[in-house]
Amino acid sequence: MSKLTKLSRRHFIRVSVMAGGGLLVACGGGSSSSKNNNTSTPPTDNGGEPTNPAEAFQVGEFMRISTDNKITILVGAAEIGQGALTAIPMIVAEELDADWSQVSSESSPVAARFNNPYFANLLQFTVASSATRGYFEGQRSVGAAVRQMLVNAAAKRWEVPASSLRTESSYVIDDIGGRRASYGELSSEAAQERVPTNPSLKNPANYRIIGSSPQRLDAADKTDGSFQYGIDVDIPNMLTAVIARPPRFNGQALNVDDNAALAVPGVRGVYTILGGVAVVADDFWAAEKGRKALQVQWNELLAGRTDSDTQRNAYNLRLNLPGLPIRIDGLVLTAQLFASETVSADYYFPFMAHAAMEPLNVVVDYDGSSAEIWTGTQSATLDKVFAGLVLGLLPDQINFHVMPSGGGFGRRGNPLADYVRDACAVAKQIRQPVKVIWTREDDMKGGYYRPAAAVRVSASIDSANNITAWTHRSVTQDVTALLYAENLLDSLADFTLPPLKELTDFETGMPYKIDNVLMDAHLTVNLNMPALWMRSVNKFSDVFAQETFIDELALKVNKNPYNFRRDLLSEKPRHRAVLDAVADAANWGFPASGRSQGIAVMGHWNSFVAQVVEVSVSANRELTVHRVVSAVDCGTAVNPDLVIAQVESAVIFALSSILFGEILLEDGVVQQSNFDDYPVLRMYQTPAIETIIVNSGNPVGGVGELGVPCVGPALANAIFGAIGERIRELPLTRSNFKIA
Amino acid sequence: MFTIRVNGIAHTVDVSEDKPLLWVLRENLKLTGSKYGCGQALCGACTVHIDGQPTRSCVMPISAVGDKQVRTIEDIGNEHIGGLVQATWQELNVPQCGYCQSGQIMAATALLKDNSSPSDQDIDKALSGNICRCGTYPRIRKAIHKIATEQL
């Protein structure tokens, strides 16, 4: 009935007939322990073990074609707003030659077969702009294989060679015989066909769906209130909890007086968990009132005492000390010795909060022997591992539902699963379905921020005005160092850690033709100051320093910042192409009257971006950002409109960080709490945004973060053009700009 | 016990008088389209219409609703302009994560009902109370202009 064929060492697909007709495709990868049965046929190869509900779900399908010609594709990447539920099905549909209007998508269960190939097939992990580029090739292979099976089934039915048939919009067509059959009609027969090992893939020139911009598949549900996020999950007998947390990170409850809290109508109980006290109630409002009535004394002997000012001084001191070398080209010391001048600049960036619109929340239904969990997450595999550790359950005993997120920006991709662990700790005590809701204040004060960073860059110039040496030193908290902490490795037992270098790497891709380069970094570990990646991670700070300083050098040698970059990028055609494209689109050199322009360029995530920002600054330092023009080369744009939307999104996200973004700590206590003291960009502050896609035809690159890092330096360079002042720290409100 | 009129239907709920309308809608009436974002009328995700006026339901106690008409995202498509706003939002792929869009659509609908050809300044004034972290502002602006010029 079903067949298993290796497409590669790490991928297999199996195709079978669905109960009641239709075709079911299961796609696997990553785990040798994957069970190979499916839900539509009796299990034949699971060793006779009983299949419990969670297991049945885990071995579910990847894609199904039903007899009415409808195609459903399950997506392993999390939908966090970037359009994963649209872009990834487009890839399958392309090679399948599907009728896009009949395609729908759903979030997949948490199972090895949905792991992201980008992370060596080890994790479902939607970070590092890796969804589309990570899943791209695998999705193509599955689509192409199933298409071939449909063709083969039709060839058998009509007794003609498969090579005489073609496919179009979910039909197999026999031009000679003048007949056609829908995929739905053929699906049951196709399921009997051998799965091709090396299905031929389309020539990109023949793409019909990839490269087009159909409407997002989730657009309708996101405009009528019916789209379900984690916070909307509602199950019978569900209680609601909020958690009182210590003012300082890693404090613990010492004494809890819950009399007043328990007296609040609707409050059901108060439970102390590791790192907090949960108030459980019939509804959110009662839980919140109960928490306000709660009296907790905290033990903060071992709690975090991070202080923004103190930390800044410490980081600045470390800028004077050599760090861990991360890029060495040539001989910087020698070049500096022979230089006619060496100049340098120091930069500082504060902690910042992700502040996604949907505050964190988790629903857990734990009955002592199994659990069901619903949450919006970018890190489902690790969340499930930690949920199992807290609840004492095996993975097969947990049915984990990845809900679409109301924004993530990295905060929902915490490899330490902080918010899932908390919710499981509450559920373990009450053994009744519970939704743990973070208020905005909880979310803002709850840690896991973009870490503060200090950067020093220097350049050496010879007597002919050539840049002969470049140094770049970063000091920041390292997210990966935290991950590899010993106690965590123990708890994960033999779980293999993913290759995380790409996630946290410092910007070593300084693209300019400079012979002698030294980049080094100080990776600080502070377990009492939870830090995490935030959209574009270290590129935000490293590229800011690089691209503002290169502007300074240009002016120092009397060159136009655009031409100066262009000359130094003679061996970097893709950087140069986006730089030229943006200069052209923004009419570089000719800003509107009273305005000033700044430019910046970078490459990362296998993609390239250049941006021009146009500003004006009034006499009383009122800053207006008028226009941001971006040119991006992401190799192949699967859905160009989604790419443009991501760049628009990134520009606005970056502006919030650049203009206002700052989490301040005083003696370990976070000072911000909500959107009044942590402002983000609003409609009236939003510039005109134009985005050009430079189609290079290269392999698919990432776009989720691409539009973030260059906005800051381009903006700072424009400010210099306007008022002759260099920006060396963020946010700009620190430099007394008023934001118009 | 409070009786409120939501989307044309009277509902009686047994809740404390200070419970915000948002949580009555979401928890008691299971109308989860209106979202919690800040709890302090700072972000606009909870915006509903009360007697046609865009209102932050997260700070409006149930006791203050009285017999006013509450309309939510679930029903706004039944109004001519609300339906146009939803359709144009889809056509221009406005939503990204989509979490703030209920509030954005309620604010945009109220604006267009009041002003059939809003200027950029009118849009700034009417929509700046609604935060979007995905940065859909340019498309929201474009959608509002498109509705005004093509359909009103």
DSSP class per residue in A434-502: EEEE--HHHHHHS--BBPPEEEEEEEEE-TTS-EEEEEEEEEEE-HHHHHT-HHHHHHTTTPPPP--HH
Contact between A28 and A76 under an 8 Å Cβ cutoff? The reply is no
CA distance B4 to chain A (A): 18
| A60 contacts A76 by C-beta, under 8 angstroms | no
Amino acid letter, residue A70: K
In this structure, are residues A64 and A188 in contact, taking their beta carbons and an 8 Å threshold?
Answer: no
Mean pLDDT of A597-616: 97
Domain A230-302+360-437 shares a fold with domain A308-351+450-739: yes
Task: Give the nearest partner residue to A222 out of B30, B95, B138, using CB atoms.
Answer: B95
Closest CA to A546 of A575, A571, A581, A510: A510
Classify domain A3-206 by CATH architecture.
2-Layer Sandwich (3.30)
**Looking at domain A230-302+360-437, which CATH architecture does it have?**
2-Layer Sandwich (3.30)
DSSP-assigned letters across all residues of A645-701: HHHHHHHHHHHHHHHT--B-EETTEE---STTTS----GGGPPEEEEEE----PSP-
Please report, as a single letter, which amino acid is at residue A247: P
Size of interface A-B (CB pairs under 8 A): 181
pLDDT surpasses 50 at A49: no
Letter string b/e over residues A507-518, b meaning 16 or more CB atoms within 10 A of that residue's CB: bebbbbebebbb
Q: What's the gap in Å between the CA of B80 and the closest CA on chain A?
A: 14
B76-151 sits in which CATH class? mainly alpha
Nearest CA-CA distance, residue A558 and chain B, Å: 37
Asked if A684's CB is within 8 angstroms of B134's CB, the reply is no
Contacts of A356 in chain B (CB under 8 A): 97, 99, 133
State residue A527's pLDDT score: 83
Name the band, by pLDDT with cuts 50, 70 and 90, for residue A77. Answer: very high
DSSP A617: E
A645 and B96 in contact by Cβ < 8 A? yes
Backbone angles phi, psi at A103, to 5 degrees: -100, 135
Q: Which residue has the tokens 């009419």?
A: A587
Would you state the structure tokens that stand for residue A330, as one six-digit string?
A: 């040539």
C-alpha span between A11 and A98 (Å, rounded): 22
Instruction: Please count the other Cβ atoms lying within 10 Å of the Cβ belonging to residue B145.
Output: 16
A439 lies within 8 A of chain B by CB? yes
Residue matched to tokens 């908390």: A422
| Among the listed residues A451, A266, A446, A238, the one whose alpha carbon sits nearest the alpha carbon of residue A359 | A446
Q: State the pLDDT at residue A522.
A: 85
Peptide bond into A731 cis (omega under 30): yes
Position A40 confidence tier, pLDDT thresholds 50, 70, 90: very low
Q: Which of 3.40.640.10, 2.60.120.620, 3.40.50.300, 3.30.365.10 would CATH assign to domain A308-351+450-739? A: 3.30.365.10
Nearest-Cα distance to chain A for B67, in Å, is 22
With an 8 Å Cβ cutoff, are B37 and A357 in contact?
A: yes
**Residue-wise pLDDT tens digits, A229-251:** 999 999 999 999 999 999 999 99
- Residues on chain B touching A223 (C-beta within 8 angstroms): 85-86, 89-90, 94-95, 98, 101, 105
How close does chain B come to A212, measured CA to CA in Å? 14
List the 368-407 stretch of A: residues with Cβ below 8 A of B: 404-407
Banded model confidence at residue A14, pLDDT cuts 50, 70, 90: low
Q: For helices A640-659 and B137-151, what crossing angle results, to 10°?
A: 120
Contact A682 B40 (CB under 8 A): no
Averaged pLDDT for residues A127-133: 90
Residue A524 to residue A6: CA distance in whole angstroms = 44
Structural contact between residues A713 and A598, judged by C-beta atoms closer than 8 angstroms? yes
For residue A232, list chain B residues with Cβ-Cβ distance below 8 A: 26, 32
- Specify the pLDDT at position A347: 98
A356 with B39: Cβ contact below 8 A? no
A283–B39 CB contact, under 8 Å: no
Q: Is A356 on the interface with B (CB under 8 A)?
A: yes
The tally of CA atoms less than 13 A away on the side-chain side of residue A670 is: 28
Residues B45, A684: C-beta atoms closer than 8 Å: no
State the Cα–Cα distance between residues A727 and A716, nearest whole angstrom.
6
- Give, rounded to a whole angstrom, the gap between the first and last alpha carbons of chain B: 42
> Parallel, antiparallel, or unpaired: how do β-strands A171-174 and A252-257 relate?
unpaired
CA distance B121 to chain A (A): 8
Q: Where are the beta strands (DSSP E) in chain B?
A: 2-6, 9-13, 47-50, 53-56, 69-71
Q: How many angstroms separate the CA of residue B26 from the nearest CA in chain A?
A: 8
Percent of chain A with pLDDT over 90: 78
For residue B132, is pLDDT > 90? yes
Average pLDDT on A492-498 reads 45
pLDDT-wise least confident of A5-19, A407-421, A647-661: A5-19
CA distance B51 to B34: 17
Is the Cβ pair B43, A405 closer than 8 Å?
A: no
ipTM > 0.90 (yes/no): yes
Amino acid A375: pLDDT: 98
- Would you call A651 and B31 a contact, using CB atoms and an 8 Å cutoff? no
A42 or A224, greater pLDDT: A224
Q: Would you call A675 and B102 a contact, using CB atoms and an 8 Å cutoff?
A: no
**Residue A54, pLDDT score:** 28
Domain residues of chain A, as ranges?
3-206, 230-302+360-437, 308-351+450-739
Q: Chain-wide mean pLDDT for chain A?
A: 89
Residue A723 has pLDDT above 80, yes or no: yes
Any idea what DSSP says for residue B7?
T
Helix axes B101-114, B137-151, angle to 10 degrees: 30
The answer to whether the beta carbons of residues A190 and A23 sit under 8 Å apart is yes
Distance CA A554, CA A560 (A): 6
Give me the numbers of helices (H) and strands (E) for chain A, helices first please: 19, 30
**CA dihedral (B40, B41, B42, B45) positive or negative:** positive
Q: Would you call A680 and B96 a contact, using CB atoms and an 8 Å cutoff? A: no
Which chain A positions have a beta carbon within 8 Å of B27's beta carbon?
Answer: 240, 283-284
Using a CB-CB cut-off of 8 Å, the residues of chain A touching B141 are: 683, 686
Cβ–Cβ < 8 Å for A226, A232: no
CB contact under 8 A, B99 and A407: yes
Lookup: tokens for A292: 């306000």
**Helices (H), ranges, A20-165:** 53-58, 84-96, 131-158
Of B43, B72, B128, the CB nearest to A675: B43
Mutate to test the interface with A, among B93, B100, B124, B128 (most CBs of A within 10 A): B93
Q: Provide φ and ψ at A431, rounded to 5°.
A: 50, 45
Note the pLDDT tens digit of each residue in A532-574. Answer: 999 999 999 999 999 999 999 999 999 999 999 999 999 999 9
Cβ atoms A17, A23 nearer than 8 A? yes
A82 part of contact set with chain B, CB < 8 Å? yes
Class of the CATH-defined domain B2-75: alpha beta
Instruction: Determine the average pLDDT of the residues in A154-165.
Output: 98
Q: What share of chain A has pLDDT > 70, as a percent?
A: 89
Tokens of A294: 């709660």
Confidence (pLDDT) at A26: 62
Yes or no: say if A232 and A284 are a contact pair by the CB < 8 Å rule: no
* pLDDT at residue A67 in the model: 87
On chain A, the residues whose CB falls within 8 A of the CB of B72 are 225
Cβ contact (<8 Å) for B98 and A406? yes
Contacts of A225 in chain B (CB under 8 A): 31-34, 72-74, 102
Do B98 and A228 make contact, defined as CB atoms within 8 angstroms?
A: no
- Residue A390's Cβ-side half-sphere holds a number of Cα atoms within 13 Å equal to 27
A658 CB within 8 Å of a chain B CB: no
What is the distance between the alpha carbons of residues A727 and A719, in angstroms, rounded to a whole number? 8
User: Which residues in chain B are classed under CATH 1.10.150.120?
Assistant: 76-151
pLDDT of residue A59: 27
Q: Which tokens is A463 given?
A: 């007597």
Alpha-carbon gap, residue A585 to A612, rounded angstroms: 9
Q: Which residue of B has its CA nearest to A707?
A: B135
Q: Identify which of A226, A283, A407 has the shortest CB distance to residue B33.
A: A226
CB contact under 8 A, A409 and B133: yes
- For residue A649, the chain B residues in CB contact (below 8 A) are 96, 134-136
How far apart (Å, rounded) are the C-alpha atoms in residues A306 and A297? 20
Query: Do B33 and A224 count as a contact with CB atoms less than 8 A apart?
Result: yes
Looking at CA atoms only, how far is residue B151 from chain A in angstroms? 19
Q: Which of A482, A529, A723 is nearest to A618 (CA)?
A: A723
Beta bridge partners of A242: A279
Q: To which H or E segment does residue A307 belong?
A: none
Task: Dihedral sign for Cα A648, A687, B132, B70, please.
Answer: negative
CA atoms within a 13 Å half-sphere pointing along the CA-CB vector of A133: 22
How many other CB atoms are found less than 10 A from the CB of residue B16?
A: 16
Helix axes A131-158, A183-190, angle to 10 degrees: 80
Distance set, CA A8 to CA A37, A73, A137, A288, A464 (Å)? 19, 21, 12, 53, 55
Residue B1 pLDDT level (bands cut at 50, 70, 90): very high
Contact A649 B32 (CB under 8 A): no
Among residues A89, A98, A210, the alpha carbon closest in space to that of A697 is found at A210
**pTM tops 0.80, yes or no:** yes
pLDDT band at A41 (very low <50, low <70, confident <90, very high): very low
How far is CA B81 from each of CA A95, A441, A649, rounded to the nearest angstrom? 40, 35, 27
- CA proximity to A376, closest of A355, A399, A406: A406
- 3-state helix vs strand vs coil in chain B, percent to 5: 45, 15, 40
Q: Inspect the interface and report whether the beta carbons of B89 and A219 lie closer than 8 Å.
A: yes
Contact B74 A688 (CB under 8 A): no
Residue span(s) of chain B under CATH 3.10.20.30 come to 2-75
pLDDT at residue A497 is higher than 50 = no
Closest CA to A732 of A676, A680, A661: A661
Q: Which residues of B touch A220 (CB under 8 A)?
A: 90
Closest by CA to A447, choosing from A473, A482, A475, is A482
Q: Are A260 and A295 in contact (CB under 8 A)?
A: yes
Describe the crossing of helices A539-556 and A711-723 by its angle, rounded to 10 degrees.
Answer: 40
Q: Cα separations (Å) of A71 from A92, A105, A146?
A: 10, 8, 12
Q: For residues B69 and B6, give the distance between their C-alpha atoms in angstroms, rounded to a whole number.
A: 6
Instruction: Give the pLDDT confidence of A612-649 residue by residue, as tens digits.
Output: 999 999 999 999 999 999 999 999 999 999 999 999 99
Residues of A in contact with B15 (CB under 8 A): 283, 285
Give the confidence band of A4 by pLDDT, cuts at 50, 70, 90. very low
- % residues pLDDT > 70 (chain B): 100
